[in-house]
Amino acid sequence: MARPYQPSLLRLLHGGTALLVLGCWLSGLFVYSRYDGRWGRLPFAPAGDWIDIHGLIGVGLLVLALPFAAYAFSLGRARLRRATNSLTLVALALAMGSGKLMEEDWLREGQLHHAVYGLHLLGWLLIGLAVLVHIGGSLRLGGWPLLSSMASPALKKGDLPGDWPAQVGRFLGRSR
């Protein structure tokens, strides 16, 4: 199968979101292991203030995930009909929404009983599962060529960063 071409704006927003999700997921695991640990702890605990690091990556994720979601619901909406794509976005919304409602001192003070924290733990679990199912679904759909097309740096004429405003403008013009 020939490698499909993905719009560069999608690749940038999708790739950035995916990297920051990975950062949040791993730093969240370290926070859980250090401050909670009710269902087990990691055998090693990397040094660092992981609550601050997790919060910082989370802010970056929010900045990128909002335009990514806007893209997915507009220019990319045809692909949201695939459950493996849309469910990943739902899991992301749950993890980020509950994270925004967390207070950073709860875990430092040993307050593990807050419902919002329980929801955030669930969001962490679900985004991990959703990304695995999402990658599996994409592999089934288009195999390695589809997967690698999402990370390819190739740019076609008419799809350079300077063309993004016109792409959005065309979408807005079409949907009016």
Binding-site ranges for ligand HEM (CB under 6 A): 10, 14, 17-18, 21, 72, 76, 79-80, 82, 85, 88-89, 92, 131, 134-135, 138, 146-147, 150
Q: Say if CB 80 and CB 89 are below 8 A apart.
A: yes
- To ligand HEM, the closest distance from the beta carbon of 73 in angstroms equals 8
Q: How far apart are CA 92 and CA 42, in angstroms?
A: 24
- To ligand HEM, the closest distance from the beta carbon of 72 in angstroms equals 4
Using the minimum distance from each CB to ligand HEM, give the nearer residue, 15 or 34.
15
Using the minimum distance from each CB to ligand HEM, give the nearer residue, 98 or 138.
138
Using the minimum distance from each CB to ligand HEM, give the nearer residue, 18 or 107.
18
- To ligand HEM, the closest distance from the beta carbon of 139 in angstroms equals 8
Using the minimum distance from each CB to ligand HEM, give the nearer residue, 76 or 102.
76
Which single residue brings its beta carbon nearest to ligand HEM? 76
Q: How far apart are CA 22 and CA 32, in angstroms?
A: 15
Query: Residues 33-55, buried b or exposed e (16+ Cβ, 10 A)?
Result: bbeeeeeeeeeeeeeeebbebbb
Q: Say if CB 165 and CB 21 are below 8 A apart.
A: no
Long-range contacts of 162-169 (CB under 8 A, 24+ apart): 164/8, 164/9, 167/7, 167/9, 167/75, 168/74, 168/75
- To ligand HEM, the closest distance from the beta carbon of 149 in angstroms equals 7
- To ligand HEM, the closest distance from the beta carbon of 82 in angstroms equals 5
